[in-house]
Amino acid sequence: MTKVSVDTAQLPFQPGPKPTADTYGLDEWRNLTADQQPTWAEHPDFSSSIEELSTVPPLVFAGEVDTLKARLAEVAQGRAFFLQGGDCAETFEGATADKITARVQTLLQMAAVLTYGASMPVVKMGRMAGQFSKPRSSNDETRDGLTLPTFRGEMVNGFDFTEEARVHDPNRMVRGYHTSASTLNLIRAFTGGGFADLRHVHSWNMGFASNPAHSRYESMAREIDRAVKFMEACGADFDALKTTELFTGHEALLLDYERALTRIDSRTHRPYGTSGHFLWIGERTRGLDDAHVDLLSRLENPIGVKLGPSTTAEDALALIDKLDPHRIPGRLTFITRMGAGKIRENLPRVVEAVEGSGAKVVWVSDPMHGNTVSTPSGFKTRNFDDVVDEVRGFFEVHQAIGSHPGGLHVEMTGDDVAECLGGAAAVEEAHFADRYETLCDPRLNHMQSLEIAFLVAGYLARD
């Protein structure tokens, strides 16, 4: 994240002795149910790993988090749009300059399309620099009669199907921290160093010219180019377009990691999670009286909660009471992932209740997680048409109620993988053999990501 412009004179500086973790109850979660946690407390390196993480520099800074809070307040009030995207599960090996560049480029391209379509600012966020742990449906995986612990993300264990790789190893948290730091370093360099210049948006798309969605992108890119030239001719200051803000967020699943990276800010004396700007609670760990909700309720960061198809209006209202008791616009983001077949039926009652309560939450559509299917040969995939249908349903529901369809959350990559079926380039199962790379859920590839950005830009233009 670049261009931090927080006026420190305006911050509620607290004189006097610095509060401690106890002041804020930052360890209360330890007395509560914590689902989906690694079994590594007895590992010989557990204490030293936690100690190290408790003293390393923060990955993100409290002032940046405050900037994000201000941006999400705008989204909550219908004046901006929120784009979140990245891998389902980041990998250590995948944290290369090329792959990070491709993902950031794709996100920025998507954001440019959405900004043009929505005629409003787009708050950009990578599911990056921290998305290394996964909740799973099952604790074990069996192959050819051998049963081993399931893969839970590289911050917990390895993907290889061996006993050794599948051990829950706390040293992996430390490696995850350092991998996040180098990823963030590159993101900061890109977004602050002219790479994000809107005037280059066109050339970023080279190499995909044969894709049907490409021609559609090219024509809008030309329109953006024309708009930029028009503004330039009018004397607009284009230095402002050379840099951009790109925030980071991930599922705050590993409570050991999140707690170790919580810091009390020296300016405000308030606790901030410093592993990422935005932290969310997954569908499987959002129990109201459970550990994840407790720890995140105590942090200053804006918080997300995934809402699956079984979410009731009462669930949503109770989450608001816990996570946004002061009803701060943008403090809470509800990321709905109900599935294309259920969203039109199940979302309205949740949105109506929340809007009626006076809370100003950010509504985001995750059209991925309610639409996962497995092929007969065992690949997890998603049909592009289902993904599009859920986004369309999300817009229909919000448009009918008069609430702001505030954002899109996608599992995507900048690479030309074949993991989700369909789209303009017609990805088929036959392509999986060579181009299926994800270690967890299937991602939209570069072209499918752009395609969805165009579709959403179209919905926003009509909104």
Ligand X SMILES: C=C(OP(=O)(O)O)C(=O)O
Residues that bind ligand X (CB under 6 A): 88, 135, 251, 282-284, 306, 337, 369, 441
**Considering beta carbons, is residue 346 or 381 the nearer one to ligand E4P?**
381
3-state secondary structure 255-310: HHHHHHCEEECCCCCCEEECCCCEEEECHHHCCCCCHHHHHHHCCCCCEEEEECCC
**Considering beta carbons, is residue 276 or 282 the nearer one to ligand X?**
282
Known binder of ligand: residue 88? yes
Q: Is residue 246 a contact point for ligand E4P (CB under 6 A)? A: no
User: Are the CB atoms for 272 and 69 separated by under 8 Å?
Assistant: no
**Residue 137, contacted partner among ligand E4P, ligand X, Mn ion, none, CB below 5-8 A by kind:** ligand E4P
Residue closest to 382 by CA, chosen among 390, 393, 374: 374
Residue 245: in which H helix or E strand, if any?
Answer: none
Give the relative orientation of helices 171-192 and 46-55 as an angle to the nearest 10 degrees: 30
- Residue 45 CB, shortest distance to Mn ion, in Å, is 28
Task: Locate all alpha helices (DSSP H) within 164-252, ordered by sequence.
Answer: 171-192, 212-233
Known binder of ligand: residue 416? no
Length of the chain: 463
CA torsion sign for 64, 65, 67, 68 is positive
User: Are the CB atoms for 244 and 238 separated by under 8 Å?
Assistant: no
Q: Which one of 1, 65, 88, 418 is in contact with ligand E4P (CB under 6 A)?
A: 88
Known binder of ligand: residue 143? no
**Considering beta carbons, is residue 28 or 141 the nearer one to Mn ion?**
141
Residue in the block written with tokens 């440019």: 112
Q: Is residue 166 a contact point for ligand E4P (CB under 6 A)? A: no
Per CB under 6 A, which of residues 427..446 are in contact with ligand E4P? 440-441
Per CB under 5 A, which of residues 75..94 are in contact with Mn ion? 88
**Considering beta carbons, is residue 137 or 377 the nearer one to ligand E4P?**
137
- Residue 284 CB, shortest distance to ligand X, in Å, is 6
Known binder of ligand: residue 420? no
**Residue 382, contacted partner among ligand X, ligand E4P, Mn ion, none, CB below 5-8 A by kind:** none
- Interface region with Mn ion, contact rule CB under 5 A, candidates 4-12, 162-170, 438-446, 450-458: 438-446
Q: Is residue 135 a contact point for ligand E4P (CB under 6 A)? A: yes
**Residue 283, contacted partner among Mn ion, ligand E4P, ligand X, none, CB below 5-8 A by kind:** ligand X
Known binder of ligand: residue 369? yes
Q: Output DSSP code: residue 32.
A: S
Q: What is the DSSP string of 137-177?
A: S-SEEEETTEEEEPP--TTT--SSSSTTTTS--THHHHHHH
Q: Is residue 441 a contact point for Mn ion (CB under 5 A)? A: yes
Residue closest to 347 by CA, chosen among 311, 321, 389: 311
Q: Which one of 2, 27, 56, 136 is in contact with ligand E4P (CB under 6 A)?
A: 136
Distances (CA, A) of 175 to 129, 247, 300, 459: 12, 21, 25, 41
**Residue 309, contacted partner among Mn ion, ligand E4P, ligand X, none, CB below 5-8 A by kind:** none
- Interface region with ligand E4P, contact rule CB under 6 A, candidates 119-127, 133-141, 189-197, 414-422: 133-141
Q: Enumerate binding residues for Mn ion (CB under 5 A).
A: 88, 441
Q: Enumerate binding residues for ligand E4P (CB under 6 A).
A: 88, 134-137, 440-441
